[in-house]
Structure 1
Amino acid sequence: MLEHTNTSNFPNLFIPGAAKSGTSTLHDLLNQHPDICMSNLKEPYYLVNDNFEDRIENYNAKYETLFKHKPKALYKGDSSTSYMLFPKFIESVKAHVTSDVKFIFILRNPIDRLYSHYWYLKGLGSETLDFRAAIENDKDIEPDMSKKLPEGKFKSYFQYGLYGKWLEKFYSNFNANQIKIILFEDLKEDPLKITNNCISFLELPPIEHLSDIKSNPTVILKYPKLYTSILRFTQGSMKSMKPLYKLVPRGLKTFIKKHTSNFIVKATKTSKTYPDLSLSDRKWAQKLYESDVERLKKITGNDFKPWKDFN
């Protein structure tokens, strides 16, 4: 941790697991502990932004705002899911975060995660390709911030599920006692037990009960093109609208970014559910991941029993 920069408000807990694996749920569950303060912006992505090294003091101030609801908490947590696989994250943590930092990874059967991620973006209008074509489209491209879609989302469906590949880097750079792995399937089965397992890992007293929380469901919208267009405008990434975007006051831009997405989803979501994954597509995806799951088992010593496709 560098001496000449102020990082006093930086997190000492990260949930850097993959998208569509229950990170939002775990984030909200851990936040119910009085000694844990999870950021009020769930995915700030600060540590992987291109300007991070040049604006550390600024990000320290931003983190202070994210944790202001529990300033005396023993743990301050950031759940930016892409941290698991984005370049610069481990390097930034080692340089600027306390040496006793903790990581909790929540992992989901990579086949189910893959399909959910695909339909999450397809339902919002950010994906037009069929399932296999979409997976193959960027299968070998490692994601980073430059791969963010204009509306602020990420694809790289296949790479997100290569847990063995990405976790090996964490085990090579940190002590095993700084890393906790839980499974989405176990959390769904017994939320209190698994949440308290995480709390025990942090050496904090358990909690007796959990309040109900809203998960982050995959939805299918009535007007997905409208949704993506509005998101692109709020991100300032629509070329034709940039002159207008520049005229919008900064405070209004921040408000729009914060509230527009949820509002549109609530207003235009349908009751439709995405179709079940076909057996042939499941077997196809299983073959894509089988070698990485074996790698993951060796790295962690876990047999991942709930993942029946790989046992």
Structure 2
Amino acid sequence: MSGPIANTFMIGAQKSGTTYLASLLAQHADICVSDPKEPQFFGKEFDRGFEFYSRCFARPDAKIRLDASTTYTFLRPRHLLDEDGAPGYTENIPQRIKDHSPNAKFIYIMRDPVKRMMSMIRHGARNDERSRGGTVTLQAAVERNPMALLISKYADQIERYLEVWDKSDFLFLRFEDLKDNPQEVTSQVLDFLELSPLTLSLDAAKEDQHGAYRYTTAGRVLNQLGGAKSLARKALPAPLHRWIKSSIATAPSDLTFTEIDVVAPLLDDDRQRVFELTGLRI
């Protein structure tokens, strides 16, 4: 390895407040969040090597170097590993992390799995005109994108990690608690990481609260400019950037779902297993 790498991982779940929590934690002097927030190194970017990965941390001497790649919980469940065409990564990401960061700690945020699934589908449709007042059946949407269901089965993911790691290495959180009381949840994380308390600036992290949205026509044009969007975020004052994003480039997603009651029971067993593994009701 060419330099320090992550020693703390926020591994999931996608669309459960990970970006917001990472931005809150970044306010602490002892925490360096990777840039990009989701380097995805131990998954699809592993072949790029540790020289690439170490460059993702602007402060390699920080006590906590945080990799917030939610894709590390896109794992194929153990019972489906040999099934051709089953969704999910087959790479043993938990073991890869153990091999290279053996003293790591993990933060796993979970959201009501059905709501998380719908938010993910809305997010995936943000460039689609159908997201403007469209209606889809949740069952059909999941059949088109089976990863939506896989990522919402948190117990399947947790069990893959607990084959390699001790439960004491994990802090399990609920999205709903983060939304209702970000200061309390952030303090819980800092205590888990053995860091000093911090009084947050909640306004500074507002831009990283990613509710479901769709791109407007102007937003789709800006999005096609690629790197220009990232440059604008860095160059413009934060209040101006937030205004452009919320008033010009995006609008609330109006995509609605039917047949929710058909899909929800598919997650009942996993909800119970999550409670048995973590003590949390989701």
Structure-2-length-normalised TM-score: 0.78
Write the distance in 2 (CA, Å) between the matches of 1:261 and 1:207. 26
Whether the 8 Å contact between 1:7 and 1:96 is mirrored in structure 2 is no
Residue 286 of structure 1: SS of its match in structure 2?
helix
Relative to structure 1, the CA distance from residue 101 to residue 296 in structure 2 (aligned partners, 3 Å threshold; closer, same or farther) is same
Match of 2:120?
117
Relative to structure 1, the CA distance from residue 261 to residue 276 in structure 2 (aligned partners, 3 Å threshold; closer, same or farther) is farther
Whether the 8 Å contact between 1:123 and 1:224 is mirrored in structure 2 is no
Q: Which sits farther off after the overlay, 80-89 or 12-21?
A: 80-89
Give the Å deviation of 1:8: 3.3
* Among 195, 198, 204, the residue aligned to 1:204: 195
Equivalent runs, 1:1-311 vs 2, <5 Å: 6=1, 8-49=3-44, 52-53=46-47, 55-56=48-49, 60-68=50-58, 70-86=59-75, 87=89, 88=91, 89-97=93-101, 99-125=102-128, 130-132=136-138, 133-139=140-146, 156-212=147-203, 213=205, 214=207, 215-223=209-217, 230=224, 255=227, 258-259=230-231, 269-274=249-254, 281-300=259-278, 302-304=279-281, 307=282
Q: Which sits farther off after the overlay, 267-276 or 84-93?
A: 267-276
Residue 123 of structure 1: SS of its match in structure 2?
coil
Greater relative contact order (Cα < 8 A, sep 6+): 2
Give the Å deviation of 1:206: 1.2
Give the Å deviation of 1:224: 9.3
Residue 15 of structure 1: SS of its match in structure 2?
strand
Match of 2:237?
none
Give the Å deviation of 1:261: 10
Q: Which residues of structure 2 form unaligned runs of 5+?
A: 76-88, 235-240
Kindly tell me the number of residue pairs found equivalent between the two proteins.
252
- 1:198-233 CA-to-partner distances (Å, cap 9, x unmatched) read 1111111111333421212321223399569938xx
Match of 1:151?
none
Write the distance in 2 (CA, Å) between the matches of 1:193 and 1:7. 37
Q: Which residues of structure 1 form unaligned runs of 5+?
A: 1-5, 140-155, 235-254
Relative to structure 1, the CA distance from residue 288 to residue 64 in structure 2 (aligned partners, 3 Å threshold; closer, same or farther) is same
Equivalent position amino acid for 2:13 in 1:
A
- 1:146-176 CA-to-partner distances (Å, cap 9, x unmatched) read xxxxxxxxxx211110101111111221011
- 1:110-148 CA-to-partner distances (Å, cap 9, x unmatched) read 011011111111222298892421112243xxxxxxxxx
Residue 261 of structure 2: SS of its match in structure 1?
helix
Structure-1-length-normalised TM-score: 0.71
Write the distance in 2 (CA, Å) between the matches of 1:64 and 1:295. 36
Write the distance in 1 (CA, Å) between the matches of 2:223 and 2:19. 25
Relative to structure 1, the CA distance from residue 36 to residue 260 in structure 2 (aligned partners, 3 Å threshold; closer, same or farther) is closer
Q: Identify the structure with the greater strand proportion.
A: 2
Equivalent position amino acid for 2:136 in 1:
D
Q: Which sits farther off after the overlay, 123-132 or 27-36?
A: 123-132
Relative to structure 1, the CA distance from residue 48 to residue 126 in structure 2 (aligned partners, 3 Å threshold; closer, same or farther) is farther
Q: What is the aligned-residue identity percentage?
A: 26
Whether the 8 Å contact between 1:103 and 1:180 is mirrored in structure 2 is yes
Residue 73 of structure 1: SS of its match in structure 2?
coil
